[in-house]
Amino acid sequence: MKDAQPSTIYLKDYQAPDYWIDTTHLTFDLHEDHTLVTAVLQMRLNEAVNCGEALPALTLHGEDLDLVSLHRDGEELENDRYQLVKGSLTLPVEQPRFQLQIVTRIRPQENTSLEGLYKSNGMFCTQCEAEGFRKITYYLDRPDVMSVFTTKVIASQARYPVLLANGNAIDRGELDNDRHYVTWEDPFKKPSYLFALVAGDLEYVEDHFTTMNGREVTLRLFTESHNIHKCDHAMISLKKSMKWDEDVYGREYDLDIFMIVAVDHFNMGAMENKGLNIFNSSCVLASPETATDATYQKIEAIVAHEYFHNWSGNRVTCRDWFQLSLKEGFTVFRDAEFSADMNSRGVKRIQDASVLRTAQFAEDAGPMAHPIRPESFIEISNFYTLTVYEKGCEVVRMIHTLLGADKFRKGTDLYFDRHDGEAATCEDFVKAMEDASGVDLTQFRNWYSQSGTPVVTVTDRYEAETGDYHLTIAQSCPATPGQEHKKPFHIPLGLALLDEQGQLLPLNAEGDKEQVLSIKQSEETFVFKGCKSKPLPSLLRNFSAPVRVRYDYSKDDLVFLMKHDTDSFNRWDACQRLGVMAIEQLVERFDEQAEQAVDSQLLDAFGVLIADPKLEHAVKAEMLCLPTEASLAEQAEVIKPLAIVAARKKVKQAIAETHSAALLALYNQLSHERDYCPEAADIAERTLKNVCLGYLAALDDAESLQRMAAQYNGASNMTDRRAALGCIVDARHRDEHLVEQVLTDFYDRYKDDANVMDGWFAVQSGSAELGTVEKVQALMQHDSFDPTSPNKLRSLIGGFTGNMARFHTTGGAGYEFLADRVIELDKQNPQVASRVMMPLTRWKKFEPVASGLMKKALQRIKAVHDLSTDVYEVVNKSL
């Protein structure tokens, strides 16, 4: 028998629902082997949709539910009065307004998908975005159906002393048999995906925030008692976020209480449920001994992101899931600007642009490419992507750039004002921006409907007689699945011109030295007057648009920009381009086996960089990092994994050898004892110091081994310890024994801390030296490995698939291993299965042997019966 094929859902088919749900009363009776859910729904006909005589039947979503009973206006409907098919319940309707009472039985203890109601470390919790609420009860589980929720949670008092749901607690009491209950009421209408419930044995830290209009808000952060000392940073971040959203957007919090709960088993980073955010514990818990600087910064950003959703997502939500970027792109932009204000703006921009160019560009060039507002999908969970989030953020940023900060703020005010309490669309957002600013965004809308990364090709000509400098800018965009031809985009292109002394030239009569060109044609030419010699263009300053820029920079040009450009992003980018050139040169001749010299201009430039006394530590650290293997792969025509790994390693080694004395001096200068503080200046020093350590490690001598061991043993914080651990593992060929010793030491220190252990798994599976298929297989059997934890799976499997030296060089064993895991995981947790398989979908870009083997692994997955919609969609689109 042939499997039923999952169907595709189209944006063009959107229809408003036949019925609304005005109020939703839920009662959860939580037990050890099942939960009874009683839903009482006040239903109302959507007058706008229905003009015919007979009332349409009502179809509710529902998955993996046992229907216990169904009443309509008090009358029980027996099973011959309704239809139950996979995924839905349909019943007849006789009145335009009616009440439904639905009782379902669910089994959270057996729910391994981590969608709906499930258990994590003994506590009950929910995850409903995007379509998880239908695993709790039958409902109109779509974001345009917004309802006022009341939730009563009943459970054993001893096991689950803390009972939480959205909104404010309005009632609580004790029942027989050690049971108790709490009733919560959320006065704001919301779609079901924002529903949340938690029941567990939790402790909390509490703080307070007074809003700009004097409202007192209680802030609580809940976690298991052994982690209660790790909540401070998240709490500080929360208060900063609340203040920032008032200052920058005029947005105030609206309930009496704001809660965050940390859970270990979670498919994503965190979730913005109204008044009750649920976080992956890895995105909220931190102490200096257990969290790196990067983790501290991630926590600050994610706490802010989820908090900001209260307006951009909750008060104004999405009409349908095609509009996902409406809330995500905008909210990522909000959190990025927040982080830029809290830390180094230049570095934040470099880091974000780097992720975008490496991972989002790859996505946009692969088989799953989609516009930030997709036109169709099979499984919405597959569209929580870098494109919807990060490119979506860049699109909002471009609007900010084109309008300027003041008009942008007028636009967001109008948007929130117009659509408060509504489910809106991306079009509503753009329209509000236009209406508030008077700026025409007609052509700009192509960013919402077209996928693929535009290529901007810049050529120039200087006329010595007139002093005119002609800059010709052409744009194109490669074909992507379903989109052969593209219309030109409206691209804001940041520009400056440098003269021979490295000074910025005035670009117009007003004397502006920086400009944002509004590019709209497939080709257009700009003329700048009065140039005494041929200027050097600084293009796409501050990464003003998510595009690739092609300009024929010589190495001398790049070295010049590294020194003189005033834009941090472009200084960094010049450095990256130089690195890419040097590495690609070695990659091209890799097969010849002959000794190749490393580009001397690059080596000289790095010498200047290391010694530069004026450069901000944080920017220097970013500039000193060679392009990652992933970014080299993204930029390659055909990916040759072994050559990339070897060439990059060689360049790194050459830099270390040429500048060992300066690197050591810098390392020593930055190594001094002090109390840990996760502030930007301290983080920058540690980052730069550990970049130096990484180079010194490449020297591959006894002295550097000792230095790494000393840093490992003497570390007073996780940042320094993890950095040293990584270096030691990479040096395994020199001292296997030391590697075993520190890995054991690390294990003994942190074995009880699940979040730190994630790092222990990742450092091994991700190591070029250690991360063999056999090693990864052995680690999967390790006592500390929890195969039901997405964090563990991501660390171990994700670490391995990102390990270019190992994953791609095993004659296909790595691919087969991954295919086995995907097939196995698909039964347990389809979302995680479909995510970990992503690296295979890039098979077309690899050199022939690897490519064929990757394809074979995909074909084996495709042949499996009863694949989830998640894996089905990815595998079918990529073959």
- Long-range contacts (CB closer than 8 Å, 24 or more residues apart) made by 3-6: 3/865, 3/866, 3/867, 6/378, 6/379, 6/869, 6/872, 6/873
The CA distance from 799 to 796, in Å, is 5
- By CB under 6 A, the residues from 311 to 340 that bind ligand PHE are 328
Min. distance of Cβ 387 from Zn ion in angstroms? Answer: 14
- By CB under 5 A, the residues from 522 to 561 that bind Zn ion are none
Total of chain residues touching Zn ion, rule CB under 5 A? 2
Min. distance of Cβ 568 from Zn ion in angstroms? Answer: 27
Residue 271 touches which of Zn ion, ligand PHE, none (CB < 5 to 8 A by kind)?
ligand PHE
Nearer to Zn ion, 280 or 635 (CB): 280
CB 299 within 8 Å of CB 726:
no
Min. distance of Cβ 266 from ligand PHE in angstroms? Answer: 7
Min. distance of Cβ 463 from Zn ion in angstroms? Answer: 51
Nearer to ligand PHE, 127 or 453 (CB): 127
Nearer to Zn ion, 329 or 411 (CB): 329
Task: Indicate whether 793 belongs to the interface with ligand PHE (CB under 6 A).
Answer: no
> For tokens 């009569």, what's the residue?
509
Q: What is the chain's Cα-based Rg? A: 28
Nearer to ligand PHE, 272 or 753 (CB): 272
Tokens of 193: 């995906």
HSE-CB at 258 with a 13 A cutoff on CA atoms is 27
The CA distance from 331 to 269, in Å, is 14
Task: Indicate whether 131 belongs to the interface with ligand PHE (CB under 6 A).
Answer: no
Residue 138 touches which of Zn ion, ligand PHE, none (CB < 5 to 8 A by kind)?
none
Residue 358 touches which of ligand PHE, Zn ion, none (CB < 5 to 8 A by kind)?
none
Residue 127 touches which of ligand PHE, Zn ion, none (CB < 5 to 8 A by kind)?
ligand PHE
Min. distance of Cβ 752 from ligand PHE in angstroms? Answer: 27
CA triplet 415, 419, 424: central angle to 5 degrees? 95
- By CB under 5 A, the residues from 146 to 175 that bind Zn ion are none
Per DSSP bridges, beta strands 257-263 and 276-280 are parallel
Residue 293 touches which of ligand PHE, Zn ion, none (CB < 5 to 8 A by kind)?
none
Task: Indicate whether 306 belongs to the interface with ligand PHE (CB under 6 A).
Answer: yes
Quickly list DSSP for 642-706: HHHHHHHHHHHHHHHHHTHHHHHHHHHHH--------SHHHHHHHHHHHHHHHHHHTT-SHHHHH
- Interacting residue with ligand PHE among 235, 261, 270, 670 (CB under 6 A): 270
Q: Report the residue number whose CB is nearest to ligand PHE.
A: 268
Write each residue from 742 to 761 as x if it is in contact with ligand PHE (CB under 6 A), else as -, in one continuous string. Answer: --------------------
Candidate ranges 195-203, 321-329, 692-700, 869-877; the one touching Zn ion (CB under 5 A) = 321-329
The residue ranges of DSSP E strands in 92-133, in sequence order, are 97-106, 116-120, 123-127
The CA distance from 154 to 18, in Å, is 33
Nearer to ligand PHE, 149 or 308 (CB): 308
Tokens of 127: 């995850």
Nearer to ligand PHE, 72 or 142 (CB): 142
> For tokens 């990067």, what's the residue?
294
The CA distance from 773 to 770, in Å, is 9
Min. distance of Cβ 337 from ligand PHE in angstroms? Answer: 16
Nearer to ligand PHE, 652 or 835 (CB): 835
Nearer to Zn ion, 331 or 829 (CB): 331
Min. distance of Cβ 389 from Zn ion in angstroms? Answer: 7
Question: Catalytic site residue 306?
Answer: yes
Nearer to ligand PHE, 389 or 872 (CB): 389
Residue 268 touches which of ligand PHE, Zn ion, none (CB < 5 to 8 A by kind)?
ligand PHE
Total of chain residues touching ligand PHE, rule CB under 6 A? 11
Cβ atoms < 10 Å from Cβ of 565: 21
The residue ranges of DSSP E strands in 338-390, in sequence order, are 376-377
Exposed, middle or buried: residue 169 (CB in 10 Å: 0-12, 13-18, 19+)? middle
Min. distance of Cβ 332 from Zn ion in angstroms? Answer: 7
Candidate ranges 266-274, 521-529, 639-647, 781-789; the one touching ligand PHE (CB under 6 A) = 266-274
Min. distance of Cβ 13 from ligand PHE in angstroms? Answer: 23
The CA distance from 424 to 325, in Å, is 11
The CA distance from 577 to 583, in Å, is 10
Tokens of 648: 């990059």
Residue 267: DSSP 8-state = S
CB 485 within 8 Å of CB 577:
no
Nearer to Zn ion, 328 or 622 (CB): 328
Residue 111 touches which of ligand PHE, Zn ion, none (CB < 5 to 8 A by kind)?
none
The residue ranges of DSSP E strands in 378-451, in sequence order, are 423-424
Candidate ranges 100-108, 265-273, 461-469, 688-696; the one touching ligand PHE (CB under 6 A) = 265-273
- Interacting residue with ligand PHE among 194, 262, 271, 347 (CB under 6 A): 271
> For tokens 């349909």, what's the residue?
90
Residues in Cβ contact with 442 at an 8 Å cutoff, skipping those fewer than 6 apart:
none
Min. distance of Cβ 538 from ligand PHE in angstroms? Answer: 34
Residue 129 touches which of ligand PHE, Zn ion, none (CB < 5 to 8 A by kind)?
ligand PHE
Which of 63, 131, 306, 629 is an active site residue?
306
Tokens of 114: 């981590």
The CA distance from 848 to 856, in Å, is 12
Task: Indicate whether 268 belongs to the interface with ligand PHE (CB under 6 A).
Answer: yes
Residues in Cβ contact with 286 at an 8 Å cutoff, skipping those fewer than 6 apart:
230, 232, 233, 234, 295, 296, 299, 678
Residues in Cβ contact with 588 at an 8 Å cutoff, skipping those fewer than 6 apart:
none
Candidate ranges 264-272, 601-609, 721-729, 821-829; the one touching ligand PHE (CB under 6 A) = 264-272
The CA distance from 556 to 574, in Å, is 10
- Interacting residue with ligand PHE among 131, 272, 320, 379 (CB under 6 A): 272
Nearer to ligand PHE, 108 or 346 (CB): 108
- Interacting residue with ligand PHE among 305, 348, 620, 648 (CB under 6 A): 305
Residue 247: DSSP 8-state = H
Candidate ranges 5-13, 331-339, 420-428, 619-627; the one touching Zn ion (CB under 5 A) = 331-339
Write each residue from 357 to 396 as x if it is in contact with ligand PHE (CB under 6 A), else as -, in one continuous string. Answer: ---------------------------x------------
CB 545 within 8 Å of CB 538:
no
Amino acid at 203: E
Residue 270 touches which of Zn ion, ligand PHE, none (CB < 5 to 8 A by kind)?
ligand PHE
User: Considering Cα of 667, then 669, then 675, then 681, what sign does the dihedral take?
Assistant: negative
CB 522 within 8 Å of CB 453:
no
CB 579 within 8 Å of CB 606:
no
CA triplet 838, 842, 847: central angle to 5 degrees? 140
Min. distance of Cβ 827 from ligand PHE in angstroms? Answer: 20
The CA distance from 383 to 77, in Å, is 38
Candidate ranges 30-38, 323-331, 620-628, 712-720; the one touching Zn ion (CB under 5 A) = 323-331
Nearer to ligand PHE, 129 or 428 (CB): 129
Partnered with residue 39 across adjacent β-strands are 26, 102
User: Considering Cα of 593, then 596, then 598, then 601, what sign does the dihedral take?
Assistant: negative
Write each residue from 110 to 129 as x if it is in contact with ligand PHE (CB under 6 A), else as -, in one continuous string. Answer: -----------------x-x
Residues near Zn ion (CB under 5 A) are: 328, 331
- Catalytic residue numbers, as ranges: 306
Residues near ligand PHE (CB under 6 A) are: 127, 129, 267-268, 270-272, 305-306, 328, 384
